[in-house]
Copies of this chain bind each other. A is one copy, B any other.
Amino acid sequence: MKARVEVFLKPGVLDVQGKAIEAALHGLGFPGASDVRVGRVITLDLVATDAASAEAEVKVMADKLLANQVIESYKVAIG
C-alpha cells in the first residue's frame, strides 16, 4: 500500500527557502509570485493492506522521524 506524507513549516515559522525562491522568481521576471512556501513530500510503500492501519503506522513514522513537530506540520494520505 502506498503512503504519502507532506511536511510543511507551520504558519508563522519563517520559510527561508520559500523567501529565497520568491526573491529569485522576482529577479527572473515573475513579480507576481508571492507567499512561496517549500515543503517536503515523502512517498513510501507499506506492507499493511488496510488503509486505517497504514495511516496509523505512517502517523507514528511522521511523529518519530519524518517531521519536526516543533516547527513543522504534516498530512498523511494513503492509497
Contacts and interface: CB of A to CB of B under 8 A. Distances in A.
Interface residues of A, number: 31
Contacts of A25: 44, 61, 65
Interface string A29-42: 01011111111111
Contact of A66 (B21, B39, B43, B47): B21
Mostly, the A contact residues are mixed
A8 to B, nearest CB: 8
B41 A39 contact: yes
Max count, chain B CB within 10 A of own CB: residue among A35, A39, A42:
A42
Interface of A: 6, 8, 18, 21-22, 24-25, 28, 30, 32-48, 57, 61, 64-66
